[in-house]
Structure 1
């Protein structure tokens, strides 16, 4: 049995999920557009019964019903002097928020969590039992979740056409947050002035929201007393090939080299083989009817991206990465049906330049092919393969239900992060095919928004990028986070020592994406949960926020 031991004492058995060797039929694949984490969807669905058992906590109220939502009317356009927002708007929209006052005592701060690039409702667990609850309890504070304009129910315009998305910029959303802090009146606290600067406001965010709150503190220092940037991607990057570096460096033993070798075989055929060789390659994966080589390369790439979804919190952890690496490192044939493909696989390995490793890699390729069929090919039977995997074709629909357009628009205009294989240095084997380049990954920009220029990452990087630094901005990152490569803690960079004014921490124990944000109820706490590195990080955050607030008291 293949056993995958990840950080923080999490023991994951791929076979236990009923996923390995669960499918022997080779069919077609599903249409998941350009989403690189698509394998997670397939494995998450298959593992749903187990996850429901892990998550169940019958005594816990649903945060969506526990916390009513409220709104504040906010200007649509804060910058009438900037031409990119023309035609300007004098209108307003309702910015949604939630708050929790169970820990609040007079004189306490407001702890606001930025909702980032998703519905704010999805952030409510952090108000109930995560980092907002932890900080609010420690400081007698009032906890707030603030939704980002356009996301969730914070509708700015009647539709999501490219013209109407012109107000979806980081600067406009930052100005919303500043306006909110200066104008909100929390229901039940009409006689208490909790606005800034009368009350200290400390902002927290993870990932995009982590960069967001760091910039927020820098642009509006008189409104926000401090900010905690967890996995904050303060550096916007166009070609973000380094996204896969964390998997290369921190995946379970053997997983990354196996991924690199099979990817190299695939690339040697796709980039250097004849059409017969390429057809044989596609056919052995069950994808012989995928016309474009880059679509085939994209169809088989997803498993290694599952690292981002590994989490210490059982309620949100995904088994996708464990499943993938369990397949890639198994010493057994997990899919007996692939034994019939051994001769074709050996031929492919010889043509692909790996004759000397043919015995070991034949097994790896068998399990990789079986894995791709389990997670991708078998999910789309009965449809033409090009229609299943040829990428999104309907770019014209732009009603409010097309929420995929939101972050994609921000990616295309300001943030980048196109995850490629082509950008990997020539002296290093990539984790995904080199056919996956900027031109391919930015297709949506051209087709959906008619954007042909590269994103203006300078709009973000002018605030500091990899060198971001500002008083009372904390930089917290997970050591094995794929997004660490877009933060001030990028591997290879030198960074200053942590201070109370500018705290810094890299969470160890294999921590991934803003692990400090999650929490569990006190009656769920064990010696293993939260894992020690997470407990240490959350205590560290409390330890520097308290002196920040003491400094505020002295100055006010």
Structure 2
């Protein structure tokens, strides 16, 4: 939201850099968290205070009086009287204070003398309503409840006398970029401006465009013949699966556990999804230089790495275990993964299949894998029909690519496959869209760094200009050094 689905899903806009779990279902935020934390490793955190707010378990059922504690962070050292309030909405991972120490929101707060807050999403990090993430307990995990949590937090902040007249700006990336958009949609009385970075606001069951975009990225920014090399390797995998001798050869080459039955359809699909995730990762978080480097390595070695993540790697036997049932068992032991996968199975899908003809990864990643995953994790009612209904309900509630919002800026990088589900054209004069060439997932949320190209820097300035205009911050702008 900010892969990013197994790595896009498990990968996917995030400890991702170390572990590209193939089912990361779009968990992009985990990767971004790790990257931004590395930038401020030695920062003095004494300026940031950890706080807790009691939230209703169910905001929309007044007969249910159960409560839970949501964690959030506060930083006020940059604030001066009449300054605005900035709230970074956390996504599908534990909240990190780093977004209060660097990045575009930090710069805005510094330049406009603003207060900074960061909210942790229900069912992630330490904001867990239940110890047991059973299907029954997970039913209170959805974007509408999460938005109500944010609204209540803003109301509590605005009760403080010093913030009574302050403008409020919300910021979010990846899935949290959706939340930033939808806060203005559902709670316009509380929000004065929003930044929606790499926000896939359209829910989509079969997200075949994801791998199409990966293919386009490698064709445009990789080395000559790189896409042909990818296709060659994946076609070879496909051929090896057609015979017992071929499967035996594949298992030996790829260090697949002896006990893993690669004749099973779902195990085969997991293998292809895992192998594709390396390319997904480069597309979602890379840059033109990285594409070229990836291609050079691929052409010289003809090898595609597999990720030694906590779901597929069998450390005891030193092999990759692509067994579907074992994967489900592993997923059930990882809280954030159970929570995010639940949201994909009930609200968004974002399932990255290879059903399109416009990609080189063969046709071996299909929707039936994701249907089976959802029903295996949460029960038989989490089937194709329920997934379709969830997607339909999400798009009807929030408006898809045409949300009825104002003072929201939609920002996407054209390398990022998730931009295919984002707002790429102005919704209105007061809800503009900005597509940044050669930029990846949520890159606009960072501060300028060595190597950032001019268009990315200009986009960040444009975003800040819009926010300052919308909140009338002209009198409080600090001159840039």
| TM-score with structure 1 setting the length | 0.69
Which SS does the other structure have where 2:139 is aligned? helix
| 1:222-275 superposed Cα distances (whole Å, 9 cap, x missing partner) | 1111211110110011111211233211222243332123223333554xx444
Partner in structure 1 of residue 166 of structure 2 = 199
Aligned counterpart, 2:436: 507
In the other structure, the counterpart of 2:281 is 306
**CA 396–256 in structure 1, closer or farther in 2 if over 3 Å, else same:** closer
- The CA distance in 2 between the partners of 1:32 and 1:236, in whole Å, is 17
Report the CA distance between 1:480 and its aligned residue: 0.5
What is the RMSD computed on CA atoms of the aligned residues? 3.8
Kept in 2, the 8 Å contact 1:205–1:212? The answer is: yes
Deviation at 1:300, TM superposition (A): 3.2
Matched, 1:72 2:53: yes
Contact 2:402–2:427 (8 Å) recurs in 1: no
Give the number of aligned pairs. Answer: 438
Tell me by how many angstroms 1:168 deviates. Answer: 0.4
Counterparts in 2 of 1:328 and 1:201: CA distance versus 1, 3 Å: same
Match of 2:234 in 1: 263
Which residue among 417, 420, 424 is the counterpart of 1:482? 417
Mean CA deviation greater in 477-486 or 131-140: 131-140
| TM-superposed deviation, 1:79 | 0.9
Q: Distance in 2 between matches of 1:151 and 1:55?
A: 21
- After superposition, residues 387-398 of structure 1 pair within 5 angstroms as 388-391=321-324, 393=326
Residue number in structure 2 paired with 1:435: 364
Q: Which residue of 1 is the match for residue 86 of structure 2? A: 111
- Out of 541, 545, 549, the residue aligned to residue 467 of structure 2 is 545
TM alignment of 1:13-24, pairs within 5 A: none
Larger CA Rg, structure 1 vs 2: 1
For residues 355-381 of structure 1, the C-alpha deviation after alignment (integer angstroms, 9 at most, x for no partner) is: xxxxxxxxxxxx226x459999x9757
Provide the rounded CA distance (Å) in 1 between the counterparts of 2:309 and 2:134: 33
Indicate how the Cα distance of structure 1 residues 141 and 309 shifts in structure 2: closer, same or farther if over 3 A, else same: same
* Secondary structure at the counterpart of residue 167 of structure 1: coil
Report if the CA contact (8 A) 2:40-2:101 is conserved: no
Equivalent position to 2:400, from 465, 469, 487: 465
Aligned-partner SS, 1:389: coil
Q: Point out where structure 2 has 5 or more consecutive residues left out of the alignment.
A: 1-5, 22-33, 263-267, 476-481
Q: Where does structure 1 lack aligned partners over 5 or more consecutive residues?
A: 1-30, 45-50, 82-87, 313-317, 335-366, 490-494
Larger RCO (alpha carbons 8 Å, 6+ apart): 1
Distance 1:43 1:516 in 2: 23
- TM-score (norm: length of structure 2): 0.79
Q: Is the 8 A contact 2:85 2:168 kept in 1?
A: yes
Contact 2:92/2:336 (<8 A) preserved: no
Once residues 223 and 39 of structure 1 are traced to their aligned partners in structure 2, the CA distance between those partners, rounded to angstroms, is 34
> Where do residues 205-224 of structure 1 align in structure 2 (5 Å cutoff)?
205-224=172-191
Query: 2:256 touches 2:322 (CA, 8 Å); kept in 1?
Result: no
Q: How does 1:508-547 map to 2 (within 5 A)?
A: 508=437, 510-519=438-447, 528-547=450-469
2:211 is paired with a residue whose SS is: helix
Shift of 1:498: 7.5
Q: Which has the larger displacement, 109-118 or 239-248?
A: 239-248
